[in-house]
Amino acid sequence: MNNEIWQAIINNDASYDGKFFYGVATTGIFCRPSCKSRNPNKEHVRIFDSAEHALAEQFRPCKRCKPDGKRLPDEDWVQHIVQTIEQHYHEPLSLMRLADMLHGSPYHMHRTFKRIRGVTPAEYIQQMRLEDAKKLLTESHLPITEVALQAGFSNAAYFATVFQKKTGKSPSDFRHSFGNE
């Protein structure tokens, strides 16, 4: 490695981005020259002329500077899905609609989400709705039908079925158990 390249790395010089990539043998991660990650130990640095070469040598792209630049790492994408669900769970939100909003295929979304979060997007939406419904049941005097709709359930009968299954109580019993008449 020549001094010019080493200087570009330790100065996080963005003008070298795309001209080369560097991997750190001890971590197995590769970066763009401009990456703000901690300066590597010079002996452990390997230089690549493309992201493809680094990947071919089994280096993984850095999560911070995303040197493969093609798609977001799965964790970031899943985080984005979580935020979208949290903003929209009270609306009719199918997996198809969610996939549309996030520019992914429903199947890939379902699988990636499940792998990283341990539940499917549909289960996560239902958890959010149930939490919201419990809050409305204990903190408001809204009729059950209204609680169901506000929490994002398509109708009161479906809400009552899901609620009973997940909590072991009907919505009104749940409400009464909190002293909320």
Q: Tell me the catalytic residues.
A: 31
Q: Which C-beta is closer to Zn ion: that of 36 or that of 103?
A: 36
Burial classification of residue 95, based on how many CB atoms lie within 10 Å of its CB (0-12 exposed, 13-18 middle, 19 or more buried): middle
Give me the least distance between CB of 34 and Zn ion, in Å please. 8
Q: Which C-beta is closer to Zn ion: that of 16 or that of 163?
A: 16
Residues at the interface with Zn ion (CB under 5 A):
31, 35, 37, 62, 64-65
Q: Which C-beta is closer to Zn ion: that of 31 or that of 147?
A: 31
Cβ-contact 151, 133 below 8 angstroms: yes
Cβ-contact 98, 86 below 8 angstroms: no
Give me the least distance between CB of 163 and Zn ion, in Å please. 46
CB atoms within 10 A of CB 148: 24
Give me the least distance between CB of 20 and Zn ion, in Å please. 13
Cβ-contact 23, 29 below 8 angstroms: yes
Cα–Cα distance for residue pair 136/50, rounded to 1 Å = 54
Residue type for position 36: K
Query: What does the DSSP assignment read for 131-157?
Result: HHHHHHHHH----HHHHHHHHT-S-HH
Spell 36-65 as b/e; 16+ CB within 10 A means b.
eeeebeeeebbbbeebebbbeeebebbeeb
Q: Which C-beta is closer to Zn ion: that of 60 or that of 169?
A: 60
Give me the least distance between CB of 65 and Zn ion, in Å please. 3
